[in-house]
Homo-oligomer: A and B are copies of this chain.
Amino acid sequence: MKLKNVMENKKVDGVLITNKYNLRYFTGFTGTTGIALATAKNRYFFTDFRYVQQANTQVVPNGFEVVKVERNALDGVSEYIKKDKIKKLGIEDKDVTIEYLNSLKKRIENVEFINLEDELIKLRMVKSEEEIEKIKSAIRISDIAFTEIQSKIKEGIKENEVAAELEYVMRKNGASDKSFETIVASGYRSAMPHGVASEKKIGKNEFVKMDFGCYNNGYVSDMTRTVFYGDEPTAKHKEIYYTVLEAQKLAISKVKAGMKASDLDKIARDYITEKGYGENFGHGLGHGIGLEIHEAPTVSTKGDIILEENMLITIEPGIYIEGFGGVRIEDDVVVKKDGCEVLNKSFKDELIVIKG
């Protein structure tokens, strides 16, 4: 059991899980109000009357016992911390606020707190088959949105309208929400790596960079495509597009388990640098996805994690030229023993020209 190993390695008697993604991962709970406490022998899940029934269905199969709490859940939590004689308690330092910790400290004495957040998050890096299926569903929905949006990009449409359409198609196809603020950046705005959709109208002979994704069954998708709106892309448009495309395909062809994340980043980065655009690729090659849109591992020059089979990462090189525009192409891939599986099926092999 993963939690047990972390507790033993870190020499804690228990771990308090409050981060909503960790909570969902370890207990299966999909509601909004709950806290989990794992100790050497026991697994408790604290929630109030509104969620007891849901918790019984979701967390019991994962080995957690449901404890119904009254107004302040920490009353219940602290009671069980005492009952199980916990002296060293793992908590999530990036998630727990000062107020929350003070509130807990008021209720218990002589307990030492140890930050375990990074360890817990790392346990989520390698995905199960079931998780991969959920992510594939989310990706299928994004792929549909990309197919449908191409007929909507027309004279005078605003970036915000394109974003609204993408979000609507995803929602109609089963997404519960978008997984992050939709990026639609056209023309000069496409040079901004994170240009969320604005009131700018899409003009003729411009790149339209769309980075979007959705939630489905709690898991996310994340994809980017860049298309050209107008008559005929210039040589420069093509050069940038195909440089990014080749860098992406190269990284995809090389990724496999056992490789260091930063080495994967280097493959795409070296290619882009060789073509003279190294300075224009100002972000990491990718990141893990799962319950969260950005989770471990980081795939950048600083990514020191060794990729393992069934990690799920994005591969998304880009080139951004201020005053001209930019291109990013992003797919989600599952790392395999001798390669990877690309989950997005949306076309990218040629620069799509939407006649305008």
Contacts and interface: CB of A to CB of B under 8 A. Distances in A.
Interface of A: 91, 93-99, 101-102, 113, 115, 117, 160-161, 163-164, 167-168, 171-172, 174, 176-177, 181
Contacts of A172: 161, 164
B93 A102 contact: yes
Contacts of A115: 98-99
Contact of A171 (B101, B117, B168, B176): B168
A97 B117 CA distance: 12
Nearest to A178: B177
B167 A171 contact: yes
Given A97-B97, A98-B113, A160-B171, 19 more contacts: A91-B98, A93-B97, A93-B99, A93-B102, A94-B97, A94-B98, A94-B99, A97-B98, A98-B98, A98-B101, A98-B115, A99-B117, A160-B174, A160-B176, A161-B172, A164-B172, A167-B167, A168-B168, A177-B181
A98, A115, A163, A174 pick with most chain B CB within 10 angstroms: A98
B164 A168 contact: yes
Contacts of A161: 172
15 contacts: A93-B97, A93-B102, A94-B98, A94-B99, A95-B97, A97-B97, A97-B98, A99-B115, A99-B117, A160-B176, A161-B172, A167-B167, A167-B171, A168-B168, A168-B171
